[in-house]
Structure 1
Amino acid sequence: MKLHPTRAKKNEKSKKVGLKRALLNPSSEHGGLYAPVKLPKISDKKWRELSKLSYEKLALYIISLFKFNIDKNVFKKAVKRYKNFDKPASPVEFKKLGKNLYINELYHGPTRAFKDMALQPFGEILSSLAQEKNKNYLIMCATSGDTGPATLKTFANAKNIKVVCLYPANGTSEVQRLQMVCMKGDNLKTIGIKGDFDDAQRALKTLLASENFKAQLAKNKLSLSAANSVNFGRILFQIIYHAYAYARLLKNGKLARGESFDIIVPSGNFGNALGAYYAKKMGAKIGKIKIVSNANNILTELFNTGIYDLRGKKLLQTISPAMDILISSNIERLLFDKFGAVRTKELMDKLSKDKFYKLDKNELKALKAEFEADFCTDSKCESYIKEWMDKGVAIDPHTATCFKMADSSRINVITSTAHWVKFAPSMLKACQQSADSEKEGLNTLASKLNESAPSSIEELFDAKILHPDVIEQNEIEDKILEWIKK
């Protein structure tokens, strides 16, 4: 299968590429991304057979359908990374919460967030390709809190790889920050920036497109790639856990023949929801994909009105920081899939120039056929956290937003994106409790739940800060080049 540029001029013949090229060079023409035009389809009969497979075997089968130009043994080795999860044979935990309500827990990996589901195998693949080409790569990522730790962890001490992680200095939880600034690895560099996630993501995209920056890297025998979900390699693995949710419902006999279910996704950069959309196109019986935002509800506005409007918008800090995003990169892949590369370029150019675009009536109707959207305030989110904590169930502040769209009249699957231990202060506040320190609060909540806090999280509070830099945005390029020359 070839991947297509998401942006094109009218009558322009776009250059299609294989996955190998898209992984190592994720930016396409006109500042766009790469995406599939047509996805492989799985029959109902085959889904029944797949429901009996382990997560690893299901993943390898789905990947095989794409017929990408990467040796299958590389993918086999990549999914072996799930041995680093709490339950190696079952990296995802699928549970029932109530009548017609299920939760797909994706946070049982080494950094306690759903980003591990894609980034652990992604790291193995990218490192393998770099070694195969006998080239050295600088992998960059921008993070709102979870991508950073997962990227640093998967590439720590990897051969032929250096990593730079950009994070908003005051825009993550304290645990997320500590995971990044304390991460060990001679090939890693974490940089805090004065700004928000959108600033970090903008800096990343600018550097990915900068010929001067690439030339400077080339002088140091480095090529450039990215670990954010601008890279289709990330999206490939995000399709799988939504397919797994469908397979589990089939295996447990919860869906009648032909019956569909809805998926609820807490969404900021939209990669998680896009994975669900692609799983649906591959034949998973997903009805509506419900997008839940926090107070930064730009996606709610898009899916309800067809308007994407950044004018006058200011990013708000909430208790769900990984969703504090106004510029959702993966919306571009959805626009491409629905309306084609020419229209996508028109819309993205208008957003860049005017900070605004508006879909026409038929385009909005096409989105509403697949998606519903709402947003959840911090106070409402806190009420959901307390409600479930009183039932002995800990739900982190991102996952908690999903309960705003839960509907008991049909089967709903909540996509749970992070372990509560990464957000102890917000959890304590929601439960109307206090503690003298975050570490103490962590243990207070764990005791209430009859759990033990993961040692990897507890140890952070006494770990040495290895990456103290916090810089202005205009210093980012110089700081990176200074580091790689050491």
Structure 2
Amino acid sequence: PQLMSMALKKTGEKDEVLILVATSGDTGKAALEGFRDVPQIRIMVFYPQGGVSRIQQLQMLTQEGHNVNVTAVTGNFDDAQSGVKKIFGDKAFNEALAEKGIRLSSANSINWGRLVPQIVYYFSAYADLLSAGTIEPGEAIDFTVPTGNFGDILAGFYAKCMGLPVHKLVCASNANNVLTDFLRTGVYDRQRDFFKTISPSMDILISSNLERLLYHMAEDKAKVASWMQQLQQEGRYDIGSELLAKIQQTFWADWTADADTEACIADVYEKDHYVADPHTAVAWSVAEKYQQATGDAHHMVVVSTASPYKFNGSVLDALGVKTAGVDEFTLLDKLQEKNSDPIPEGLASLRSKDVRHSGVCAPETMEEAVMAFVSDPVKK
């Protein structure tokens, strides 16, 4: 956000920039906080109504700042993300915004810049293993990543391209296992049931960042564009066995059902006294499946992507603590009793914050919601 603000000043840009975001729960809050009250920039975040945890929802709905807007979409994350992409591609709508002095930009997985800091995590994890004496310099390791929109694991792929000794990137999905099927068969087919799971940030059937991997692997823009068009019009595409084999040299995939995710949370807590959130547990479970299936002896890093406190109800259920009829903040305290890590201040402070955003729209009226927001003067 600060880089963008400085760029606007240096280039003499007079228009305002509107950051449009579709979030599956986690990084919408990060984007909101980053762009809060940044001069010459507004941010609007769309999230799937009923498709995020209550704590994730409260993080966004209580967001402060004169230039922010949070709106629920009456659909799933795919509806929200497709709606945002449609807005970017609507020439007439963008011209109407330009007349109001507004230019669009993006955050989250739509923006490649989101991946840059994530790449750093992979090098940092490798450096930690070196410092601990667990591996020797140059020794290849594996990573398992809980994956919905294919962003974090793509950052791992870029880290490998930059020289990090990565042997395998294991793609871990929940019941919305479209990526598992794709990485096994080469066929991407979104024509399937959509499931609401206890790992909601991965409840995605159109994995936006996969297009970027295909671009690097196929080295053929026209072919990738054709596949994306097939996905939009027919709901599926097939990359063929040759390209699939190339992708499988680096990637492996499996998925975990909710019941197994809960069992993993309980098992990890019993063995290691570590409280894993449901997304981390999906990855942990799939990492074990990978090692059992392949016998791979490389050291494995499980990428933990969220705090368990954001999903306190699901985590406590898995740990055998009754949660029925208990409010979110009492659940936070109950989970604190199980967890050696304190409740993050950002979540603890939600107890006393007012809800500031209440907007709701249908996927087909997202443009109207955007226009209503940009027509409202930003209070100084």
Paired position in structure 2 for 1:398: 279
The answer to which of 438-447 and 193-202 deviates more is 438-447
CA distance in 1 between counterparts of 2:43 and 2:345 reads 25
Structure 1 contact 127–160 (Cα < 8 Å) conserved? yes
Alpha-carbon shift at residue 142 of structure 1 (Å)? 0.1
Structure 1 contact 131–160 (Cα < 8 Å) conserved? no
Paired position in structure 1 for 2:48: 168
Structure 1 contact 308–356 (Cα < 8 Å) conserved? yes
Alpha-carbon shift at residue 247 of structure 1 (Å)? 2.2
CA distance in 2 between counterparts of 1:131 and 1:230 reads 24
The answer to which of 318-327 and 133-142 deviates more is 133-142
Paired residues for 1:212-251 under 5 Å: 212-251=92-131
Is structure 2 residue 68 aligned with structure 1 residue 188? Answer: yes
Out of 242, 246, 255, the residue aligned to residue 135 of structure 2 is 255
Paired position in structure 1 for 2:308: 420
Is structure 2 residue 322 aligned with structure 1 residue 442? Answer: no
What do the CA deviations read for 1:210-262 (whole angstroms, capped 9, x no partner)? 11221121122111101022211112222111122222223333223542100
Is structure 2 residue 319 aligned with structure 1 residue 431? Answer: yes
Structure 2 contact 189–236 (Cα < 8 Å) conserved? yes
Paired residues for 1:367-406 under 5 Å: 367-390=247-270, 391-404=272-285, 405-406=287-288
Paired position in structure 2 for 1:409: 297
CA distance in 1 between counterparts of 2:137 and 2:73 reads 51
Paired position in structure 2 for 1:320: 199
CA distance in 1 between counterparts of 2:248 and 2:282 reads 20
The answer to which of 435-444 and 365-374 deviates more is 435-444
Paired position in structure 1 for 2:9: 131
Secondary structure at the aligned position of 2:303 is classed as: strand
Out of 462, 473, 477, the residue aligned to residue 363 of structure 2 is 473
Is structure 2 residue 85 aligned with structure 1 residue 205? Answer: yes
Aligned Cα root-mean-square deviation (Å):
1.4
Per the normalisation by structure 1, the TM-score is 0.73
Q: Which runs of no fewer than 5 residues in structure 2 stay unpaired?
A: none
CA distance in 2 between counterparts of 1:469 and 1:200 reads 14
Which amino acid letter does the alignment assign opposite residue 416 of structure 1?
Answer: S
Paired position in structure 1 for 2:185: 305
What do the CA deviations read for 1:328-371 (whole angstroms, capped 9, x no partner)? 01100110001021221121122122111112111110111010
Paired position in structure 2 for 1:157: 37
Q: How many residues align?
A: 363
Paired position in structure 1 for 2:169: 289
CA distance in 1 between counterparts of 2:91 and 2:52 reads 31
Paired position in structure 2 for 1:333: 212
CA separation of 1:139 and 1:269: change in aligned 2, threshold 3 A:
same
Structure 1 contact 190–469 (Cα < 8 Å) conserved? yes
Secondary structure at the aligned position of 1:229 is classed as: helix
What do the CA deviations read for 1:362-402 (whole angstroms, capped 9, x no partner)? 11101110100000111111111112223321111001111
Paired position in structure 1 for 2:346: 456
CA distance in 2 between counterparts of 1:236 and 1:442 reads 32
CA distance in 2 between counterparts of 1:454 and 1:309 reads 38
Q: Which runs of no fewer than 5 residues in structure 1 stay unpaired?
A: 1-122
Structure 1 contact 130–161 (Cα < 8 Å) conserved? no
Alpha-carbon shift at residue 458 of structure 1 (Å)? 2.3
Per the normalisation by structure 2, the TM-score is 0.92
Alpha-carbon shift at residue 471 of structure 1 (Å)? 1.8
Alpha-carbon shift at residue 451 of structure 1 (Å)? 4.3
Structure 1 contact 443–452 (Cα < 8 Å) conserved? no
CA distance in 1 between counterparts of 2:134 and 2:313 reads 37
CA distance in 2 between counterparts of 1:231 and 1:399 reads 24
Runs of 4+ in 1 over 6 A off after TM superposition: none
